[in-house]
Structure formats: C-alpha cells, structure tokens
C-alpha cells in the first residue's frame, strides 16, 4: 500500500478544521448542517483509516454505525430547520430567539 | 508517499467542502456537498474497504444530499442567495481554522503514526457481517430502532396542522 496512515489523518484534520470554520462563521442553519456533515465525514475517514492499518474490523463496523446515525441526525435536523423556518420565516440562526433566556 | 489517486481525491474532498460552505447559492452549495462524501468514499476504496464505500455513497450521496436539496428548495428564493456574515467574524473563523489545522497537524506529524505502514491483508467484509451479527447485535437492533424513531419524529415535526383537508385538496 503506497498511501500511509498519516496522509489520511492529515486530510481528516483539514476536513475537521473546515467544518469548525463553517460552524463558527456561518449563520445560515442549513450551512451549519453542511459543516456538521463535513465533520462527521472526517471522523469516519479516521475510523476506517485506523481500522485498515491496525488491521481490525472494528473501524469499519463503527464507521457503518456512524453513517447510519448521521442519516438519522440529518433527517431530524432538516425537519427542525423546516419547523423553525415556518415559525420565523427565516433560516438565520440569529433570528431563532425563542429559547434565548 | 501518497499516489496520484490519493492527491486527486483529497483535492476533490477538501475543495468541495470549501465550496459547499462558501458558494453563494445554497443549491449549488448542497450539490457541492455531494463531492465531500463522494471523495471520502473514494478514500474508503483506497483503504480496501469497498463495503463501507458503497454504504457511504448510498447513504450520503444517494439520500442525505437529495434530502438537503429538497429542503433548500422549500426555502424562499431570496434566503437561498442571501449571505449574512460580518467580515470580522469571518476572518476570526479563518484564523481559528488555520490555527486548528496547523496545531493539530503539527501534533500528528510529531507523533509516532508517521512511521506506521502495513503489509497485512485488508479486513474481509465477511468479518464485518459476522461482527454485526455476533458481538454488535444489540447495537444493530438499537440502531434500527433509532433510525425508525428519528424518521417518525422527523415526519411528526414537519407535519402541518394548520392546513385543513379542503385546503389540501386545492
């Protein structure tokens, strides 16, 4: 195998940093969901990479679980965004003030 | 050293992640988001785990991206193109990203995983199936229940009670 573990890990770090940038800068709720997706992908990449280099089947198994849970998270998150959009007529998270103390 | 396929995949993955966050239109952004899971699926193929790669393509590129695309289409047109962010916050975010990337990258480069290589054969996907049905079976059932619960919850959340049946017919 010509690719080393560190290459995959560095790509994963880059994806994680981009996701953190999106979560901290964007105020659009859908874009924040994009950022969460990017972070989850970085985590999955790390799990499969470490599972390949150990080698152990646990990494792939955990990645499969993680992908399935991410699908559930997106379904609930998008429906929450739709409900909030109906209530506030906007998807800017600065407008979602009902829970603000 | 990384080969050409790896470099191409990393350009696709990271580039589409940046494009998804920075493109002006949310629709183009959500189409660009398909590139990130697709690129990660390519990495999974490079890591000799084709089963996870196919699962990733089916779930992310097949369903999640389409779900996001339809949600974006439900939103008003001017909100799709509106970009609200102040510049100071953006520069602070870019600084945070660079600091995070460099510090974590330095920690990883300095750690012992730089020397890890493997010549052992890849894990067979039959082992994953056996794992799922033996050691992980309670987790598998729990995951199915969580998926069913989340889909039902999403449907209940997104339902509109203010529309009567006569309005629905029109």
Cβ-contact A21, B133 below 8 angstroms: no
Partners of A28 in beta bridges: A92
Q: Taking CB atoms and an 8 Å limit, are B75 and A94 in contact across chains?
A: no
Whole-number Å distance between alpha carbons of A52 and A47: 9
Which of A10, A26, A83 has the CB atom closest to B21's CB atom? A26
Residue B85, preceding peptide bond in cis (omega within 30° of 0): no
Convert the pLDDT of each residue in A51-70 to its tens digit.
Answer: 988 888 888 999 999 999 99
Q: According to the model, what pLDDT value does residue B165 have?
A: 64
Residue B170 reports pLDDT greater than 60:
no
Tell me whether A74 touches chain B (CB under 8 Å).
yes
State the DSSP string of B1-33.
Answer: ---HHHHHHHHHHHHHHHHHHH-SSHHHHHHHH
A vs B, Cβ pairs < 8 A, gives: 234
Q: According to the model, what pLDDT value does residue B164 have?
A: 65
Average model confidence (pLDDT) across chain B: 87
Q: A48, A51, A59, A94: which to substitute to probe chain B, counting the most B Cβ within 10 Å?
A: A48
Q: What proportion of chain B, given as a percentage, has pLDDT over 70?
A: 94
Q: Taking CB atoms and an 8 Å limit, are B158 and A11 in contact across chains?
A: no
Q: According to the model, what pLDDT value does residue B77 have?
A: 78
> Tokens 């890849």 — which residue?
B122
Whole-number Å distance between alpha carbons of A54 and B55: 22
Q: According to the model, what pLDDT value does residue B95 have?
A: 93
Q: How far is CA A21 from CA B9, B22, B34, B41, B64, in A?
A: 21, 11, 19, 23, 22
Torsion angles phi and psi, residue A28, rounded to 5: -85, 125
Whole-number Å distance between alpha carbons of B41 and B45: 6
ipTM of model:
0.90
Whole-number Å distance between alpha carbons of A22 and B97: 9
Q: A16, A29, A52, A54: which to substitute to probe chain B, counting the most B Cβ within 10 Å?
A: A52
Give the global pTM.
0.90
Least confident of A14-28, A45-59, B9-23, B76-90: B76-90
Tokens of B26: 């949310």
Q: According to the model, what pLDDT value does residue B123 have?
A: 83
Q: A19, A40, A61: which to substitute to probe chain B, counting the most B Cβ within 10 Å?
A: A61
Question: Which residues of chain B does A71 touch, with a Cβ-Cβ cutoff of 8 Å?
Answer: 59, 63-64, 147
Q: How far is CA A59 from CA A4, A33, A101, B84, B98, in A?
A: 16, 25, 42, 39, 28
Which of B85, B92, B158 has the CB atom closest to A83's CB atom? B158
Whole-number Å distance between alpha carbons of A21 and B18: 10
Average model confidence (pLDDT) across chain A: 88
């Amino acid at each position: 195998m010509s690719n080393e573990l560190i290459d995959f890990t560095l790509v994963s770090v880059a994806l994680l940093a981009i996701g953190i940038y999106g979560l901290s800068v964007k105020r659009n709720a859908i874009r924040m969901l994009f950022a969460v997706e990017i972070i989850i992908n970085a985590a999955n990449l790390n799990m499969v990479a470490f599972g390949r280099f150990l080698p152990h089947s646990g990494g792939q198994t955990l990645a499969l679980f993680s992908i399935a849970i991410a699908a559930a998270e997106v379904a609930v998150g998008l429906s929450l965004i739709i409900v909030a959009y109906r209530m506030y007529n906007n998807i800017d998270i600065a407008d979602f003030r009902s829970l603000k103390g | 050293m990384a080969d050409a396929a790896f470099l191409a995949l990393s350009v696709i993955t990271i580039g589409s992640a940046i494009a998804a966050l920075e493109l002006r239109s949310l629709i183009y952004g959500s189409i660009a988001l398909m590139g990130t899971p697709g690129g990660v699926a390519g990495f999974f193929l490079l890591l000799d785990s084709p089963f996870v790669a196919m699962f990733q393509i089916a779930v992310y590129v097949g369903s999640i991206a389409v779900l996001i695309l339809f949600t974006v289409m439900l939103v008003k047109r001017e909100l799709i193109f509106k970009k609200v962010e102040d510049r100071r916050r953006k520069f602070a975010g870019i600084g945070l990203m660079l600091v995070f990337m460099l510090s974590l990258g330095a920690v990883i480069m300095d750690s012992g995983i730089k020397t890890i290589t493997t010549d052992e054969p890849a894990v067979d996907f039959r082992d994953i199936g056996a794992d799922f049905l033996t050691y992980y079976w309670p987790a598998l059932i729990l995951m199915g229940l969580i998926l069913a619960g989340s889909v039902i919850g999403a449907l209940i959340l997104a339902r509109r009670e203010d529309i009567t049946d006569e309005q629905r017919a029109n």
